Structures are given as structure tokens and as C-alpha cells.
């Protein structure tokens, strides 16, 4: 399953209280600090073997190749991680991963697939969003505005917006990051694509719905959650079809 990467809560923000403009470098440095703070939250949880959890929603405009029109799609998901375990859930597909195994549960197909954990997969200590700080994006996008305002829930929001240096060549028309101005936690990411460059997706908005402390990691190793001693699926999964690709080359 493709892990969805930028994350936030669907909040209707109101009461804009301030708008500022300064050099791209100034806003870029501010946004970089916010982004690094967000990354550090995930990394700290992993290194201390705590649980890092969030739920998110994503709304996308995706091209329907049959009709040529853009269709609005909604994805709701969850992510849970600690040092030895990862869990992702989105639209009926659940992916469980420990040091040796990946179990993918596809409820719509009533199927479970077991594969081998990719090398160093659990060594990843960052939650990846659209990273404006990659060399290519840094050269092609300008962080040109910053807004401070209150959200509908009373949260103090800071929003940074980046636009392309060369609109004709950039795959993006706009990137926007919203953070909680007090906790520095990421709240929303918006992306508008340049359909003249690539037309498969027009836009998406991702929102963090919830961040809470959770410690509902299953007993490891994961194979004990899914398989009995005979290698057959255990309840409540015994009615699923099963593919074991763990030892496939």
C-alpha cells in the first residue's frame, strides 16, 4: 500500500488576524524549523520506543482517464509506529509490519498477504511529507507568504505558502503548510499541481484529525497475531484467502 504522506484535520479556518511578506529566505528558514520540529516528534518517539499515532484525511482531485474529468476522492487513514512496529490503515487496507514480516489485510478483497520486511524499513525515523527542503524543490519553489490566524476551533495557525519560480516548468502551482503556532505540530498540507506538466492529479489536501498517545501495539512477532502453529490464519482472519510470499525470491 502506498503510504499517504502529508496529514491534517478538516477545519474551516476563519478570522485571519495577520498577513506578512518578507524575503523568501526568511520564510524558508522559519518553515524549515517548523518542519524539522515535526520530524523530531516522530523521531523522538521511535528512539524512546514510545508510540507515535495520528489519524488523517486526504481529499484529492484525480484524473479519470476514461472520462477525462477530475474526480474527487477521499482517503481516511491511521498511522501508528514505535521502534519495532509500523501500522498503516487507509480505505479498507491495513498494513502491519515488524522486523521480519509485513501482513497486508485487504478487507474489500477478503485477502491477507504476507511478505518479508524490506531491509532497514524500521530504521526510518521520519514521517515524510512533501519536503520543500529537498535540493530540487528548494531551487524551484519560493516560500513567499506567511499568515497567522485562528482556526474555527480556536487554534492559533501559521500557514506558509510556496509558489514556483518558473510556473511553466514546475510540477507544482502551490504548496501550503499549516502548523499549530503554539505546539508547532503539522495540521495541514495542500498541494496544487501544474496539470500542463502532469495531469494525473490536480490537487490534494491532507489534514491531521487526531494525535493521541496510544500503546495498542500487538504482541510481537506479528506472525503470532495472524497464524497458528500450522501456518493457517487465526480468528478473526480465518475466512480470508491467504498468500504467503515471505520466502519468495
CB 62 within 8 Å of CB 193: no
Q: Any residues with CB less than 8 A from the CB of 207 and at least 6 apart, and which?
A: 7, 8, 9, 10, 11, 56, 57, 58, 187, 188
Three cell numbers at 8?
491534517
Three cell numbers at 235?
480468528
Return the pLDDT at 134: 65
pLDDT tens digits for range 223-240: 999 999 999 999 999 999
Residue at grid coordinates 521511535: 46
CB 82 within 8 Å of CB 50: yes
Task: In whole angstroms, give the CA distance from residue 35 to residue 186.
Answer: 8
CB 139 within 8 Å of CB 166: no
Kind of pairing between the strands at 52-63 and 70-82: antiparallel
Length of the chain, in residues: 249
pLDDT tens digits for range 111-140: 999 999 998 888 766 555 555 566 666 678
Task: In whole angstroms, give the CA distance from residue 197 to residue 169.
Answer: 7
Task: In whole angstroms, give the CA distance from residue 74 to residue 59.
Answer: 5
Percentage of residues of the chain with pLDDT beyond 70: 83
Q: How many helices, marked H, and strands, marked E, lie in the chain? A: 3, 13
pLDDT tens digits for range 162-192: 999 898 988 899 999 999 999 888 899 999 9
Return the pLDDT at 135: 63
Q: Any residues with CB less than 8 A from the CB of 130 and at least 6 apart, and which?
A: 5, 6, 137, 175, 189, 191
Q: Any residues with CB less than 8 A from the CB of 113 and at least 6 apart, and which?
A: 103, 104, 106, 242, 243, 244, 245
Task: In whole angstroms, give the CA distance from residue 16 to residue 170.
Answer: 29
Peptide bond into 236 cis (omega under 30): yes
160 DSSP β-pair partners: 146, 177
Per-residue pLDDT at 207 exceeds 80: yes
Three cell numbers at 22?
518578507
Return the pLDDT at 133: 62
**pTM value?**
0.77
Domains of the chain (ranges; CATH) run 16-244 (2.50.20.10)
Kind of pairing between the strands at 16-20 and 70-82: unpaired
Return the pLDDT at 125: 63
Element (H, E) at 111: strand 111-116
Amino acid at each position: 500500500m502506498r503510504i499517504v504522506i502529508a496529514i491534517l484535520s478538516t477545519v474551516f479556518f476563519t478570522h485571519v488576524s495577520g498577513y506578512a511578506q518578507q524575503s523568501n529566505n526568511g520564510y524558508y528558514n522559519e518553515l524549515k524549523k517548523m518542519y524539522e520540529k515535526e520530524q523530531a516528534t516522530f523521531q523522538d518517539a521511535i528512539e524512546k520506543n514510545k508510540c507515535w499515532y495520528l489519524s488523517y484525511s486526504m481529499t484529492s482531485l484525480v484524473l479519470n482517464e476514461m472520462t477525462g474529468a477530475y474526480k474527487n476522492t477521499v482517503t481516511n487513514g491511521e498511522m501508528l509506529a514505535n521502534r519495532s512496529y509500523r501500522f498503516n490503515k487507509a480505505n479498507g487496507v491495513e498494513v502491519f509490519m515488524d522486523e521480519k514480516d509485513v501482513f497486508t489485510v485487504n478487507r474489500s478483497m477478503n485477502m491477507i498477504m504476507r511478505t518479508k520486511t524490506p531491509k532497514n524499513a524500521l530504521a526510518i525515523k521520519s514521517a515524510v511529507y512533501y519536503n520543500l527542503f529537498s535540493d530540487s524543490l528548494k531551487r524551484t519553489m519560493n516560500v513567499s507568504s506567511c499568515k497567522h490566524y485562528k482556526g474555527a476551533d480556536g487554534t492559533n495557525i501559521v500557514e506558509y505558502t510556496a509558489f514556483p519560480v518558473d510556473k511553466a516548468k514546475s510540477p507544482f502551482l502551490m504548496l501550503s503548510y499549516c502548523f499549530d503556532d503554539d505546539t508547532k505540530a503539522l495540521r495541514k498540507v495542500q498541494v496544487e499541481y501544474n496539470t500542463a506538466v502532469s495531469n494525473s492529479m490536480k490537487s490534494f489536501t491532507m489534514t491531521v484529525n487526531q494525535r493521541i498517545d496510544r500503546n495498542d501495539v500487538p504482541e510481537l512477532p506479528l506472525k503470532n497475531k495472524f497464524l497458528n502453529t500450522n501456518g493457517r490464519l487465526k480468528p478473526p482472519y480465518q475466512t480470508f484467502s491467504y498468500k504467503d510470499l515471505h520466502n519468495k525470491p
